[in-house]
Amino acid sequence: MDIRNIGLVGYGEVGKIFGAGLKPQRGVDSVRAWDLKFTNAATADTEMAHAEAAHIVAEPSMQALCAHADLVISAVTASNTLAVAQEAARFIRAGAIFLDLNSASPGTKQRAAAAIDGAGAHYVEAGVMTSVPPYGIKVPMLLGGAKAQALAQALAGWGMDAKAVSDQLGVASAIKMCRSVMIKGLEALVIESYATARHYGVEDHVLPTLRETFPSIDWQQQGAYFFSRVVQHGKRRAEEMREAANTVHEAGFPPLMAAAIAEKQQWVADAARAGVFDGLPKGARWQDYADRLIAARERG
């Protein structure tokens, strides 16, 4: 598989990390990006300056991006998964690979694949199995689709941790979504439990019991990490959990837990957008986050 020109749809946290990691790889002639932020007057200058500094070509449209790309990587929010694939299908080159990194249900991925494959390109789904920032482009990914094995071999040549799990679409995303119910669910549970314990002043009794039951987990540190990640990325996590709820529903089960997790993640995202956590330093304790939630509730 000869991939020389890469196009990134979405120049957010993941897009920036992948752009920086893929640009210097041997055999890669260019990395280009397209994001709606490039056309927004409030964000265009900052985002395009970042791309220029990273030697990423900022394209003015999806059409311009696809015109050059052998590999199109979609790294947008879960709710935009299908719309981006459908737009890319209008312009993608025949024979190009479309790698979908987004957290979406098997059904959503299958509909996205129908659009891309119908345009003569090749859709590959990816289940990104943990948070991208600590790993960069080496983040563990599970690939699915007819071209998954060939793409996994190409990505491995760049030092990436990509493993083909099935030539059938939906398997990789099902693995990812089922895991997300657990991981995002733990985040939601910790935030609800810890903030409530803080209100009653019983956290020094609750956390030791968790440590006794699950001694391998540092519940203080894990709590701080969970709070910080949800405050920073709650909106994106809520969208992912709505797709997880779709995954459960597609399996024929009522998505009671996944839907509730989405609501909790969205609730924290709304609080963050309202400024509840403004000014908290990097490395803040979970108690600092909980105190802000308590203060916000008391204000009204």
- Say what the pLDDT of residue 64 is: 98
Cα 120 from Cα 95, distance rounded (Å): 6
Domains of the chain: 5-168 (3.40.50.720), 173-299 (1.10.1040.10)
267: amino acid identity, one letter? W
Residues of the chain with pLDDT under 70: none
pTM: 0.91
Per-residue tokens: 266: 């969205």
57: amino acid identity, one letter? V
147: amino acid identity, one letter? K
- Say what the pLDDT of residue 294 is: 97
Cα 258 from Cα 240, distance rounded (Å): 10
DSSP, residue by residue, 17-73: HHHHHHTTSTT--EEEEE-GGGG-TTTHHHHHHHHHHTT-EE-SSHHHHHHH-SEEE
- Say what the pLDDT of residue 278 is: 97
Cα 46 from Cα 41, distance rounded (Å): 10
